[in-house]
Amino acid sequence: MTNPTNTMIQRNIQRVTAEEVQQAAEYQAAILADVAGRRGTLHGRIKPLASHMKVAGPAITVEVRPGDNLAIHAALAIAQPGDVIVVDGKGDLSCALLGEIMATQAEATGIAGIIIDGAVRDADTLSKQNYPVFAAGLNPCGPTKLIPGRVNHPVSVAGAQIEAGDLVVGDVDGVVVIPRAEVQAIIALAKKKLEGETQRLAAIRTGDLRPSWVEKALRQAGMLGEGESL
């Protein structure tokens, strides 16, 4: 009979490529979210500890019981340089799941950043540094290290489904997840989206203040009648 604990930590996963990560990192999370169909964004409670923090990389997924970080330590041990630790902490803010020591270990290991749907601590120190830490909140209370969790299994984090190896991109606006198989298509769409937005901003600055699509959309929504204009 197979011991179920043997499968709780999955070590071998398929990741988005380093080239794909580099390409996607050129775009804001908002651009990627728009072209992904406005799907895959984590709830707005997940925020960087400082506005300058940005992260992009393949997800190492972690599921923990609220208030326990044992599985995060396992993830830190098996993650590869460039990976992003993404933790389903159930949105619980009763205890911090990570602080300065674990973040320092992650940075020294080459892990690209940490995203936790839960609380962290040592925010004063971490927020003054460049290492990206995203969390749902803060709490000075420390975690237990007793309860089994899972590493590199599918998780639901702050409303987004994430598979190990999927691309995660985060900045001051929040975090978006792109399924691994869709990354190339999303990057191509993001390029077109950014070009269009750049053109629109330039048009606004030269006096073209109203988007061309507004009146048509208002008519379709019943807010303007045929022949009526703003």
- DSSP percent split of the chain into helix, strand, coil, nearest 5: 35, 25, 40
Instruction: Give tens-digit pLDDT for 173-183.
Output: 999 999 999 99
pLDDT band at 4 (very low <50, low <70, confident <90, very high): low
For 25, the 3-state DSSP assignment is coil
Q: Residue 169 above 50 pLDDT?
A: yes
- For the residues 63-75, what does the mean pLDDT come to? 97
What are 213-226's pLDDT values in tens digits? Answer: 999 999 999 999 88
- pLDDT > 70 fraction of the chain, expressed in percent and rounded: 97
What is the DSSP track for 167-223?
A: EEEEETTEEEEE-GGGHHHHHHHHHHHHHHHHHHHHHHHTT--S-TTHHHHHHHTTS
Angle between helices 100-109 and 70-78 (to 10 degrees): 20
The residue ranges of every structural domain in the chain are: 14-187
Q: Could you tell me if 164 and 153 are in contact, meaning their C-beta atoms sit under 8 angstroms apart? A: yes
CA–CA distance, 230 with 221 (Å, rounded to integer): 14
Tokens of 154: 């599918």
pTM of the prediction? 0.92
Domain 14-187 has CATH 3.40.225.10: no
The pLDDT of residue 6: 65
